Amino acid sequence: MQNPFVYGEVVPAAAFVNRVAELDRLVGDLAAGQKVFLISPRRYGKSSLIRHALAAMTRRGALTVEVTVSSFSSYVAFLEGYARALVAAETKSDRVRSWLRDTIRSARAEVRYAPDTSPLGAITVSFPAVRSDRDVSRLAQEVFALPARLAETRHQQVVVALDEFQAIGGFNGGSVEHAMRAAVQHQRNVGYVFAGSEPSLMERMLGPKRPFYKAGPVIRLEKIPADEFAAAIDARFSRSGIKPEPGLGAAIVDLAGNLPYDVQRLAHETWDEVRTGGRRRATLDDLHQALRRLLTEQQTMFEAIWQRLTLAQRAVLRAVVLEDGRELLSADARTRHRLGGPSTVQAALAALVRDDLITRAGARYAVVDSLLREWVARQTF
């Protein structure tokens, strides 16, 4: 029997939980040619949601393109990767070179067909003659116009997903945002989803003084309701032939902080624990045995993270865990955990957020990785 829980990759339809309303809204907006901004903390299942939305649009006859912005090391590399993803939608390879030559006139494009084992796939696109800032600016205008050209050429709607879109800010300052907004606002036959997993950066990008202000609808992913998630976990155990102890799904969701990635990971490892033992019933003991094994496997990495922190940051991280992330600036909490003055605590919190070790939701802080949270609680003093 195959493990029904998936983590570390885009979750397939069979393992996808809830998100019905978000998926319906995203697909509806994309079908209407909207420019949608999807904002989500890490581990909330953003990429899986995008992939399912693109699959739904493909079934409706749209051409879909997906690019992860943060995977590129420079602006030109991003433009090359974006162009490659778009020309890959052209099914006849002999038309790719002529199509690019006709649509991009400012720079000569080199198109190569690499082995399928290439990280970029069978087709690679490069613009070796692009060197100056002026060259890059002209090229960007033409590349950003490609989705509309593709829709016109193929007489089909095009949907573009730009994941980790907040990374665009690292390319040539704010000029990229201006160039892309100028292009996409006129593309009625192209739906876009600009998705980001750093909410603070994405929110600033949508501010009044930025190019994408009021450019399109915004979807903010929240946590899946805990009771629904727990019921889905229990049901998936049962369908796989393993009977869960009452309350197992709820315990997994609670221990994983109700983060989709962490819930799937803990459920996956618990299922493996039961299956390896040749049993047909999953208990809370199996869950805690799986947790202990995961903590042992991650021990070296967590120790390295801990060693990199300053003493003040270690103390504040422990306080976040033990105080459930609340009222960390209060005199009682600072005295109880020997945290120092409010400014010291604030500086440590800011550093931990910047390093993506903790996140903030309203007045509460939480450790991003539920395994790290458990390790800190059990292994540090």
Q: What is the band of 172 on the pLDDT scale with cuts at 50, 70, 90?
A: confident
Angle at 329 between CA 379 and CA 323, to 5 degrees: 35
Residue 195 has pLDDT above 90, yes or no: yes
Question: Phi then psi for 289, rounded to 5 degrees?
Answer: -70, -40
Q: What is the band of 92 on the pLDDT scale with cuts at 50, 70, 90?
A: low
Cα–Cα distance list, 29 to 231, 234, 303 (Å): 30, 33, 45
Alpha-carbon distance 243 to 280, whole Å? 6
Angle at 115 between CA 114 and CA 119, to 5 degrees: 80
What are 158's strand-pairing partners? 63, 190
Alpha-carbon distance 276 to 238, whole Å? 17
Coil vs helix vs strand at 212: coil
Instruction: Give the pLDDT confidence score for residue 11 in this predicted structure.
Output: 66
Angle at 293 between CA 288 and CA 296, to 5 degrees: 125
User: Rounded to a whole number, what is the distance in angstroms from the first to the last CA of the chain?
Assistant: 42
Residue 102 has pLDDT above 70, yes or no: yes
Residue 121 has pLDDT above 60, yes or no: no
pLDDT digits (tens, 9 = 90+) for 342-352: 999 999 999 99
Instruction: Give the pLDDT confidence score for residue 236 in this predicted structure.
Output: 94
Cβ 88 vs Cβ 99: under 8 Å: no
- Beta strands 364-367 and 358-361 are antiparallel
Alpha-carbon distance 11 to 232, whole Å? 14
Residue 120 has pLDDT above 50, yes or no: no
Alpha-carbon distance 177 to 80, whole Å? 17
Instruction: Give the pLDDT confidence score for residue 2 in this predicted structure.
Output: 87
Instruction: Give the pLDDT confidence score for residue 367 in this predicted structure.
Output: 94
144: amino acid identity, one letter: F
Cβ 177 vs Cβ 167: under 8 Å: no
- Beta strands 158-163 and 190-196 are parallel
Domains of the chain: 19-220 (3.40.50.300), 225-297 (1.10.8.60), 309-381 (1.10.10.10)
| Mean pLDDT of the chain, nearest integer | 90
Instruction: Give the pLDDT confidence score for residue 199 in this predicted structure.
Output: 85
pLDDT digits (tens, 9 = 90+) for 4-58: 998 877 666 666 777 888 999 999 999 999 999 999 988 888 988 999 999 999 9
Q: Which residue has the tokens 């033992």?
A: 277
Residue 90 has pLDDT above 80, yes or no: no
Q: Which range among 128-142, 229-243, 350-364 has the greatest average pLDDT? A: 229-243
**H helical segments located in the chain:** 20-31, 46-59, 75-87, 96-103, 133-144, 146-154, 175-184, 199-205, 226-239, 248-255, 260-276, 284-308, 311-322, 331-336, 342-354, 370-379
The H or E element containing residue 123 is strand 123-126
Q: Which residue has the tokens 């006709």?
A: 102
Q: CA nearest 42: which of 363, 377, 364, 361?
A: 361
Q: For residue 262, with 0-12 CB atoms within 10 Å meaning exposed, 13-18 middle and 19 or more buried, which class applies?
A: buried
Give mean pLDDT, residues 189-202: 91
The H or E element containing residue 233 is helix 226-239
Residue 157, both tokens: 């709607």
Q: pLDDT exceeding 70 applies to what percent of the chain? A: 93
Instruction: Give the pLDDT confidence score for residue 96 in this predicted structure.
Output: 65
Alpha-carbon distance 222 to 21, whole Å? 12
Instruction: Give the pLDDT confidence score for residue 299 in this predicted structure.
Output: 96
Instruction: Give the pLDDT confidence score for residue 307 in this predicted structure.
Output: 97
Instruction: Give the pLDDT confidence score for residue 175 in this predicted structure.
Output: 81
Alpha-carbon distance 44 to 267, whole Å? 16
212: amino acid identity, one letter: F
Residue 115 has pLDDT above 80, yes or no: no
Angle at 218 between CA 217 and CA 221, to 5 degrees: 145
Residue 94 has pLDDT above 80, yes or no: no
- Beta strands 281-282 and 243-244 are parallel
Alpha-carbon distance 171 to 174, whole Å? 8
Give mean pLDDT, residues 252-265: 93
Give mean pLDDT, residues 290-313: 96
Please tell me whether the overall predicted TM-score, pTM, comes out greater than 0.85 for this model: no
